[in-house]
Structure 1
């Protein structure tokens, strides 16, 4: 009579971890209204891209008064977007840092018929983001001749037209985001630079 196999079952192999996801703040109606101001959006972006700063440094960078940046920093802090950055600077100036690396926008905020103020804030927020993307691209085009050839040949300004269902479009967006996030923790080489990626996906009437 053959012996029974009494060996302990082998654990299932671990699935490879997905791409590193950035810390993201999901906007609700209140936080959207607190953020939907052009200067606040730009200040928050500056803190995320450039690191901690004071109100006066942000004012110089963005061409605003320090009184304006100080006020809007306090408003951003009240809504949980920025916080104190201890250990920076030696004077009495207050240093600030972004709490999250990104912002997630719930498109349903645009269609709440019972809350026109939130719908207006959503519209202002999205238009300001579109404006920032356009300005960043134009800045690159105006300054590209000052970059080495290998960087000029490593940029992209493409567009694609596809025939998709809403579910397929959502799937593609998630795959693109996962691909980009998969490059966040690569080893830093000497020639590393900050690279901005913009993605836009939207339907339009008519056939391709």
Structure 2
């Protein structure tokens, strides 16, 4: 099963490419290919409750935008398997804030990220008892209110990503290792009384 290099990033600089990934089903399918590895349109259709025709269409859009490619290790000539080309997608919000449709797609992507945090949290809450005490104690959210410059905030988020990859490398082949969703966000809030 071939997954993208854990440090590979697709840098998006145009609205059309951002639009391709901003679609709710496409972003979920890409995430699935990144986390679970290659899959066919039919497999993705079953996972997401969609027809293979629908997933096939969205896979072609992702391919055209450069997010996925045909897996070189095809299981047979009939079923085309797809794989993610990059582990992460990045863009600069400032490049999409000129009032164009790019700004709309950037907002949609930030919304998708928030929806992922909520969905992962709710899923864990529903299943918490099945994970046992060690995972119940390890899982959770935290927030920190700190004064940072834009440069320091960007550096902090980058460094957290490096730490995540370091811990993944240390744990990936250990007994009891599970897929863990780690979310990082940093937004200025101004002065508050809280």
TM-score normalised per structure 1:
0.83
Give the unaligned 5+ runs of structure 2: none
For residue 176 of structure 1, the aligned residue among 157, 160, 177 is 160
Calculate the aligned-residue CA RMSD, in Å.
1.8
More helix per residue: 1 or 2? 2
Check whether the contact 2:6–2:87 (CA below 8 A) recurs between aligned residues: no
Shift of 1:91: 5.7
Q: Corresponding residue for 1:3?
A: none
**Distance between the aligned counterparts of 2:134 and 2:77, measured in 1?**
41
Check whether the contact 2:10–2:86 (CA below 8 A) recurs between aligned residues: yes
Moved over 4 A (4+): none
**Distance between the aligned counterparts of 1:128 and 1:21, measured in 2?**
21
| Structure whose alpha-carbon radius of gyration is higher | 1
For residue 94 of structure 1, the aligned residue among 63, 80, 84 is 80
Check whether the contact 1:110–1:123 (CA below 8 A) recurs between aligned residues: no
Check whether the contact 1:109–1:122 (CA below 8 A) recurs between aligned residues: no
**Distance between the aligned counterparts of 1:192 and 1:88, measured in 2?**
28
- Output one character per residue of 1:103-138: Cα deviation in whole Å (capped at 9) or x when no partner: 11211233124xx12111111122112112211111
Shift of 1:21: 6.2
Give the unaligned 5+ runs of structure 1: 1-19
**Distance between the aligned counterparts of 1:172 and 1:66, measured in 2?**
41
